Amino acid sequence: MEQKYSQFRGQPRLPKFAVPKRYDIKLKPDLVACKFSGAVDISVDVVAPTKFIVLNAADLAVHPNSVRFTDQTGSKVLEALVVELCEEDEIVVVEFAENLPIGVGFLCIAFEGTLNDKMKGFYRSSYEHKGEKKNMAVTQFEPADARRCFPCWDEPACKATFKIVLEVPSEVVALSNMPVVEEKVDGNIKTVHYQESPIMSTYLVAVVIGLFDYVEDFTSDGIKVRVYCQVGKANQGKFALDVAVKTLDLYKMYFAVPYSLPKLDMIAIPDFAAGAMENYGLVTYRETALLYDEKHSAASNKQRVATVVAHELAHQWFGNLVTMEWWTHLWLNEGFATWVSYLATDSLFPEWKIWTQFLDESTEGLRLDGLAESHPIEVEINHACEIDEIFDAISYRKGASVIRMLQSYLGPECFQRALASYIKKYACSNAKTEDLWAVLEEESGEPVNKLMNSWTKQKGYPVVAVRVKDQKLEFDQSQFLLSGSHGDGQWIVPITLCCCSYDARKNFLLQAKSESLDTKEFLGCSISQGCLKETGAWIKINVDQTGFYRVKYDDELAGRLRHAIEAKCLSATDRFGILDDSYALCMACQQPLASLLSLMGAYREELEYTVLCNLISISYKIARIAADATPELLGYIEQFFINLFQYPAEKLGWDPKQGESHLDAMLRGELLAALVHFGHDITQDEARRRFDAFLDDRHTALLPPDIRKVAYVAVMQNVSSSSRSGYESLLRVYRETDQSQEKTRILGSLASCPDPDIVLEVLTFVLSSEVRSQDAIFGVHVGIKGRETAWGWLKDNWDHISKTWGSGFLITRFVSSVVSPFSSYEKAKEVEEFFASRAKPSIARTLKQSLERVHINAKWVQSIQNEEHLADIVQELAS
């Protein structure tokens, strides 16, 4: 049988013969039965002759008899002839007996739905109030779940105004995007009317209904800003409130447009899939991303709160005021908000050196984009189910990085002027990537479109090989792939270099595959005098790592840079970059492990937070691969790492120093954790001693939040089936605390136990009702010793995991966490076979990427095994 309404099915976008102008929405949630009923009255503009209206709806029961169309004057009412819900396409087709009158009319629909437990659409979240378990009702509509709450044109370009009315129990707090204009109480029920919103996209509509306390403040323009928290926790909202008020003022200056709504609410939700969501005027957060507790939060928690708030508020301009035209341009939202959040955080907390920390974003972008299974920044989207997957390191981190690259090429003033004019030009409207380039091109006079297309329309990035030959510097670009092969991409690469000093710089665009520079061009630099033979002369490409590419130096240049690091001639960003490029080249089997390790040795006196963190994370990965490749050398390698981290760790000590910097507070935890991880027994013993003190007194100064995780990991390292007390103590702390950051720290430590039986117990606990489904993934943080256990557990529990997390993006994290640590072709095959019959579009990309990582690891293992002289070098470094 031919499918009904086939002309409307299987389409990526809705037909536009009628478009919405204004939504009147009434919602009535039942927090006990977890259901809701509602009605929409949508002003639509019929722009072409049609008998049909097609809009989005999913998981809703629509009352067919309620559906009618009224013309503008109200004189003509058309009842729907057929109302057909197509679940697969998430649309509802309404057919009328005759063509609709051209022009504005009103479409009414009544419907019902469930307050689901999937953290999307209109959902329920649970909390305790005065010892009683309660539900709140919350919305999460991005990317395409407004359709699960009310029928609508659920596409970012279909902007309209929204007038919302909620019918709720009289004692609750009921919030929406706009301020309340009227509230009528009738017994136990109140009806709350909100002011009509400015025009906006459906994915930004929000309501939250539950019991909350708040703190409040005002911007210099008098905009009321509130932070809502669980009852009794309002104080923990003060830090975020302060950041928000200052950030709104800052963005108003930077974008040269004020915040466009009369109020801003920010609210902590106990069950929340993402980190935060930028709903216009009502930003929702995970508790860990909004609440800061002087006593129980770590410095890293504080930084997380500040950056997340800065990110979501950036969206109030970049995303909410100016919206991407379609999900292909998602990066315009996320890449920009990520980049802008650094701008704000840097201005508020200059001592955090946040632009140095930005390199973590670039590195993660480079890491994902080094896979053949990556995707371009601008990616085609044909079905709603494909959108979730692109909220990834490409849209966010590569996106933010290419913006930084462009800003540094054009200059900050020009860049800001262009952004301000872009915001003004597209305010209350939608924009595509090329619209932004056009504005930047006009402002700068540079060929921005051509330059940037090479970065946003093709996946991957180049490695630029540099060598000195006959008084010339030769540059050659080719696509970098972690698999070691070369892709055929080519880019316009903004090359920056400096020579012997940050004052002797040179910039140019590498447009061809290869180009060479005459060294005579470097006035004032020693190589121009032919002195590359001179000791101490060095050349650093990609100065301050503002470019999104890798650099491969010839042996001579690399050796000189190593000396420059030891001689402390280089900036932290450049020290980071040299290390990170070397690590990537090593993983791609283009450089021996021995040379990476000896380069790491040049960082013995490193004290900079971001550089050390990268050194630590690289050392973890090397130890993991070495455990498979050369188990007989693992002990030496670990000893080398201990030697490397002992110097900075001793400098910092265990106890916070009076007035020490934010970065030192964060660094202490990372360094001690590394020493514990590599088996430094003095550190392990001290960590456990402090944990015991903590068990006696949760406020002990011996275990401040910044180093708690160190102690938790050390405790779990000592746990086994026959000696479980440390594990049980940690579970007790987990159960007793009502602080989410503390729960997260504990969850992230439990699986570091070497005993597989305990690891399995931990993984079982993670799936229990004691762990909120938003947090389960933190417990799946298994080391190399736990990976087989985790894989067995994933297979055994796949049906449950797939059912619980399968409808959101969290499921992908289970797959990547469990699969990526493997390093053999056989394992890759086994994983592939398991998923062959369990394929799901929502994990397809992640699964391919994870399998590619396993292949990369396997190849790396082989290459290390074939490396000559590795043992000699490792033993020497360890001594």
What positions carry a catalytic annotation? 312
Q: How far apart are CA 145 and CA 139, in angstroms?
A: 9
Within 8 A by CB and 6+ apart from 164, the residues are: 25, 26, 27, 176, 177, 178, 193, 194, 205, 207
- For residues 274 and 466, which CB has a smaller minimum distance to ligand BES in the complex? 274
143 binds, among Zn ion, ligand BES, none (CB under 5 to 8 A by kind): ligand BES
CB of 341 to ligand BES, least distance (A): 6
CB of 140 to Zn ion, least distance (A): 13
CB of 315 to Zn ion, least distance (A): 6
277 binds, among Zn ion, ligand BES, none (CB under 5 to 8 A by kind): ligand BES
CB of 201 to ligand BES, least distance (A): 12
Binding mask 411-440 for Zn ion (x = CB under 5 A): ------------------------------
404 binds, among Zn ion, ligand BES, none (CB under 5 to 8 A by kind): none
CB of 815 to Zn ion, least distance (A): 23
CB crowding 4-13: b at 16 or more within 10 Å, else e: eeeebeeeee
Residue type, 801: I
138 binds, among Zn ion, ligand BES, none (CB under 5 to 8 A by kind): none
Q: Where are the beta strands (DSSP E) in 481-617?
A: 493-499, 505-510, 514-518, 539-541, 550-553
Q: Is 337 one of the binding residues for Zn ion (CB under 5 A)?
A: yes
Q: Is 258 helix (H, G, I), strand (E, B) or coil?
A: coil
Neighbours of 116 (CB within 10 A): 16
CB of 422 to Zn ion, least distance (A): 18
Q: How far apart are CA 283 and CA 204, in angstroms?
A: 9
Q: Find, among 804, 854, 864, 810, the residue nearest to 832 by Cα.
A: 854
Q: How far apart are CA 794 and CA 183, in angstroms?
A: 50
DSSP state of 487: B
Neighbours of 81 (CB within 10 A): 13
Q: Find, among 564, 653, 563, 647, the residue nearest to 606 by Cα.
A: 647
Size of the site for Zn ion (CB under 5 A): 2
Q: Where do we find the tokens 């990268």?
A: 614
- For residues 230 and 338, which CB has a smaller minimum distance to ligand BES in the complex? 338
Report the interface residues with ligand BES, using CB under 6 A.
142-143, 274-278, 307-308, 311-312, 315, 334, 337-338, 391
Within 8 A by CB and 6+ apart from 873, the residues are: 594, 597, 598
Q: Bridge-partner residues for 478, per DSSP?
A: 463
- For residues 296 and 311, which CB has a smaller minimum distance to ligand BES in the complex? 311
- For residues 268 and 612, which CB has a smaller minimum distance to ligand BES in the complex? 268
- For residues 275 and 484, which CB has a smaller minimum distance to ligand BES in the complex? 275
Q: How far apart are CA 548 and CA 563, in angstroms?
A: 25
101 binds, among ligand BES, Zn ion, none (CB under 5 to 8 A by kind): none
- For residues 337 and 379, which CB has a smaller minimum distance to Zn ion in the complex? 337
761 binds, among ligand BES, Zn ion, none (CB under 5 to 8 A by kind): none
Cβ atoms of 744 and 779 within 8 Å: the answer is no
Q: Find, among 772, 793, 837, the residue nearest to 117 by Cα.
A: 772
Q: Is 70 helix (H, G, I), strand (E, B) or coil?
A: strand
Give the phi and the psi of residue 264 in degrees, each rounded to 5: -135, 120
DSSP state of 634: H
- For residues 331 and 603, which CB has a smaller minimum distance to Zn ion in the complex? 331
118 binds, among Zn ion, ligand BES, none (CB under 5 to 8 A by kind): none
275 binds, among ligand BES, Zn ion, none (CB under 5 to 8 A by kind): ligand BES
- For residues 265 and 334, which CB has a smaller minimum distance to Zn ion in the complex? 334
- For residues 336 and 415, which CB has a smaller minimum distance to Zn ion in the complex? 336
- For residues 254 and 336, which CB has a smaller minimum distance to Zn ion in the complex? 336
Within 8 A by CB and 6+ apart from 850, the residues are: 815, 816, 819, 820, 831
78 binds, among ligand BES, Zn ion, none (CB under 5 to 8 A by kind): none
- Nearest residue to the partner Zn ion, using Cβ: 337
Cβ atoms of 304 and 289 within 8 Å: the answer is yes
The distance from CA 724 to its chain's CA centroid, rounded to whole angstroms, is: 35
Q: How far apart are CA 722 and CA 712, in angstroms?
A: 18
The response to whether 334 counts as a known ligand-binding position is yes
The response to whether 315 counts as a known ligand-binding position is yes
The response to whether 781 counts as a known ligand-binding position is no
Q: Is the dihedral of CA 812, 817, 823, 829 positive or negative?
A: negative
Q: What angle do CA 467, 469, 473 make, to 5 degrees?
A: 55
CB of 618 to ligand BES, least distance (A): 23
User: The tokens of 160 are what?
Assistant: 């309209």
Q: Is the dihedral of CA 624, 625, 630, 635 positive or negative?
A: negative
Within 8 A by CB and 6+ apart from 367, the residues are: 393, 482, 584
CB of 309 to Zn ion, least distance (A): 12
CB of 143 to ligand BES, least distance (A): 6
Q: Find, among 58, 37, 43, the residue nearest to 111 by Cα.
A: 37
274 binds, among ligand BES, Zn ion, none (CB under 5 to 8 A by kind): ligand BES
CB of 126 to ligand BES, least distance (A): 20
Neighbours of 533 (CB within 10 A): 9
Binding site members for Zn(2+): 311, 315, 334
Binding site, by residue number, is 311, 315, 334
Give the binding site for Zn ion (CB under 5 A): 334, 337
